[in-house]
C-alpha cells in the first residue's frame, strides 16, 4: 500500500511539473530533462510512468477532467431547476479555467488544436464532462423550461464555445489573473437563454444552489449520514445489553 502511494505521489509531481513547463514554454520546447528536474525524479522515472512526452501531455487533462466529473456527480443532485444546474456546470468551467491558468492555457491553446489529442482517452473524458451539460439542456427541453424546438447540441456549443473563446482571449492578451471574468457568466446565460425559455412562471418554494452551496450541502448530508450510523450502532449495542441483562434477571 505504501509503495502504491509513493508511485501515485510521484506521478502527480511529474504531471504538475509538466503542466507548468508545458504552459510556459510549449510542448515542442519542453524537454523531459526539465520536467524530471522540476519534479525531483530521474528521466527514467518519467518514461517509466508515462512512456513518451506526448503521453505525459495527454494524461494531464484526463486526470483533471475525471476530478471535475466526480464533483458534478456529487453536487448536481442537490441543485434544483434546469437553469440553476446549467449555471453550476458553467461556473465549474469558469472556475477551473480561471483558477488554473496553466491548465486552461495548455488545454485551450495547445491540446484542442491537436488532431492526435482528439483520438485519445483524455479527449473522450473531456467529452463526457461536456455530455453532463448536454443532459441538463435536454432535461430543460423535456420539463418545459426551454422550447421544444431547441437544438441541445447547438446550445451546448454556444455555451462552451463562448467560454473557451473568452479564456483564449484572456491568455493571448495577457489579461490580469484578477480580471473579473466570472462576472460575464450570468449575462452570458441570460443572453442565450432568454430566447429559448418557455416563459412559464414557477410557483411554490424553489431551492436554487450554486456549486459552492451544493458542495457544502453535500458535506452536511454526508456528516448527517455518518452521525445517524453511529447513533444507530450505539442504540443497537444498548438494546443488546438491555436484552442480556433481562435474561440474567430471569
Output the pLDDT for position 39: 92
Which of these, 212, 222, 218, 224, lies nearest to 74 by C-alpha position?
Answer: 218
How many helical (H) and strand (E) elements, i.e. helices and strands, does the chain have?
A: 10, 0
Which of these, 32, 15, 28, lies nearest to 122 by C-alpha position?
Answer: 15
Query: Do 190 and 50 meet the contact criterion of CB atoms below 8 Å apart?
Result: no
- Give mean pLDDT in consecutive 10-residue pieces for the chain, a chain of 250 residues: 54 92 90 93 93 90 85 86 90 87 88 87 88 94 93 94 90 69 82 82 48 61 66 65 59
Q: pLDDT by residue (tens digit) across 20-58?
A: 999 888 888 999 999 999 999 999 999 999 989 999 998
Which of these, 219, 224, 225, lies nearest to 71 by C-alpha position?
Answer: 219
Domain map (residue ranges) of the chain? 1-51, 56-198+207-214
Q: pLDDT by residue (tens digit) across 207-237?
A: 555 556 656 656 666 666 666 667 666 666 6
Output the pLDDT for position 182: 73
To the question of pTM greater than 0.75 for the whole model, the response is: no
| Fold annotation for 1-51 | Arc Repressor Mutant, subunit A (1.10.10)
CATH 3.20.20.70 fits 56-198+207-214, yes or no: no
Output the pLDDT for position 2: 43
Amino acid at each position: 500500500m505504501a509503495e502504491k502511494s509513493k508511485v501515485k505521489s510521484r506521478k502527480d509531481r511529474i504531471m504538475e511539473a509538466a503542466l507548468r513547463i508545458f504552459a510556459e514554454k510549449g510542448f515542442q520546447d519542453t524537454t523531459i530533462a526539465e520536467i524530471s528536474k522540476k519534479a525531483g525524479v530521474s528521466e527514467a522515472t518519467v518514461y517509466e510512468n508515462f512512456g513518451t512526452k506526448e503521453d505525459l501531455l495527454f494524461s494531464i487533462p484526463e486526470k483533471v477532467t475525471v476530478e471535475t466529473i466526480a464533483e458534478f456527480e456529487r453536487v448536481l443532485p442537490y441543485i434544483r431547476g434546469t437553469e440553476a444546474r446549467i449555471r453550476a456546470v458553467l461556473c465549474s468551467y469558469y472556475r477551473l479555467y480561471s483558477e488554473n491558468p496553466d491548465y486552461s492555457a495548455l488545454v485551450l491553446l495547445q491540446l484542442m488544436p491537436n488532431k492526435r489529442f482528439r483520438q485519445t482517452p483524455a479527449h473522450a473524458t473531456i467529452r463526457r464532462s461536456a455530455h453532463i451539460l448536454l443532459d441538463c439542456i435536454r432535461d430543460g427541453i423535456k420539463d418545459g423550461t426551454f422550447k421544444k424546438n431547441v437544438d441541445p447540441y447547438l446550445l451546448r456549443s454556444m455555451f462552451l464555445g463562448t467560454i473557451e473563446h473568452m479564456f483564449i482571449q484572456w491568455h493571448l492578451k495577457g489579461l490580469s489573473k484578477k480580471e473579473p471574468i466570472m462576472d460575464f457568466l450570468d449575462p452570458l446565460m441570460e443572453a442565450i437563454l432568454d430566447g429559448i425559455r418557455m416563459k412559464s412562471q414557477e410557483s411554490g418554494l424553489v431551492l436554487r444552489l450554486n456549486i459552492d452551496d451544493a458542495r457544502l450541502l453535500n458535506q452536511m448530508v454526508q456528516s448527517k449520514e455518518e452521525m445517524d450510523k453511529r447513533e444507530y450502532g450505539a442504540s443497537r449495542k444498548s438494546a443488546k445489553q438491555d436484552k442480556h441483562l433481562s435474561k440474567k434477571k430471569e
